[in-house]
Chain A
């Protein structure tokens, strides 16, 4: 049926197609939704005053979002997806940290107010 040379070139072709196929299989769509989600999470973190209570985390989330966008523009969608998820998690942390900071501030204000009242009553 086929000559040995033909067989060899078929194998080469299959190998090439296989390689391309495997890359394509790994390849994913641009993670636009994940990036939008990261953006929204950063936005809500800002809304709960994360700029003040979790500045470092908020900046890191913004940095990762920026990197995710660049990766997507470069066509590296997998990297973009990873970074978008990291940005979201980091922004969530900023949010939690801001809530914790605010709750802690309220607690210590309440404690001060109680101490003041106690000393007034003595």
Chain B
């Protein structure tokens, strides 16, 4: 009789103890650590951006750990929650690295493009320079020929008329002006000292103008040709001899 009463009391007591024990299940350190790790990860913008789903998963696990019915379940869920937080952090790091790699590739491609165009530019400049040198060489060769030919140009004394058959130099000059459209030419007329200085100046101007007109008639545009008469003011030889006077009657050409 007495034992029965005791037993009747003991059983509810045990049940009550168990119930209270369940309600007061202490969070183990591992769960506190996992919660701490979660809050660190949850505040990481990279994890928020790239691993929100995994973060939510970890959160759910940790919430279920808090309400676990046994210490073993709680510890196990704390472990899994912690691992899931770490997974989220790693997933975010992986995605961040992939993004960085993508940016690096874009940077590299841009660099390659810039380098290629710089190389092209350099090659073009170089070939332009070579081309220009060739052109210059050709031009100076042509100029040399024209100067030689102009050395043979003769005018009928006292007039601006060419001696027949002396126009080869003008033809060469006209070709040259066609071929090198950037060039301009200055024709300087000179005479010997026979006759008055004023007449000579006019004559030298007429002779230079005559050649200019021929060039214009052969297609050279007028603004590319200057014609100046210097008269007898710039002799290159003595006016005392026939040969000297002949040398002084001349058209000088300079190219620009």
Contact = CB atoms under 8 A, between A and B. Distances in A.
User: Interface centre among B11, B73, B76, B90, by most A CB within 10 Å?
Assistant: B90
A103 B94 contact: yes
Contacts of A111: 104
B112 interface: yes
A110 B94 contact: no
B105 A93 contact: no
B179 interface: no
Contacts of A85: 76, 80
Interface in A89-122: 89-90, 92-93, 96-97, 99-100, 102-104, 106-107, 110-111, 113-114, 117-118, 121
A52 interface: no
Given A8-B4, A117-B112, A103 B93 contact: yes
A79 B70 CA distance: 12
Interface residues of B, number: 30
A17 interface: no
Nearest to A82: B76
Given A8-B4, A85-B76, A114 B94 contact: no
A73 to B, nearest CB: 18
B22 to A, nearest CB: 13
B107 A90 contact: no
A73 B52 CA distance: 38
B93 A92 contact: no
A11 interface: yes
B80 A118 contact: no
B226 interface: no
A86 interface: yes
B90 A117 contact: no
A117 B91 contact: no
Interface string B24-60: 0000000000000000000000000000001000000
Nearest to A90: B83
B100 A93 contact: no
A21 interface: no
B200 interface: no
A44 to B, nearest CB: 14
Contacts of B112: 117
A83 B11 CA distance: 33
Interface in B89-111: 90-91, 93-95, 97-98, 100-101, 104-105, 107-108, 111
A110 B83 contact: no
Contacts of A110: 101, 104-105, 108
Contact of B1 (A4, A11, A97, A121): A4
A15 interface: yes
A89 B83 contact: yes
Contacts of A97: 86, 90
A97 B80 CA distance: 15
Interface of A: 4, 8, 11, 15, 78-79, 82-83, 85-86, 89-90, 92-93, 96-97, 99-100, 102-104, 106-107, 110-111, 113-114, 117-118, 121
Given A99-B90, A106-B97, 13 more contacts: A4-B1, A86-B80, A86-B83, A89-B84, A93-B84, A93-B90, A99-B94, A104-B94, A106-B98, A107-B98, A114-B104, A114-B107, A114-B108
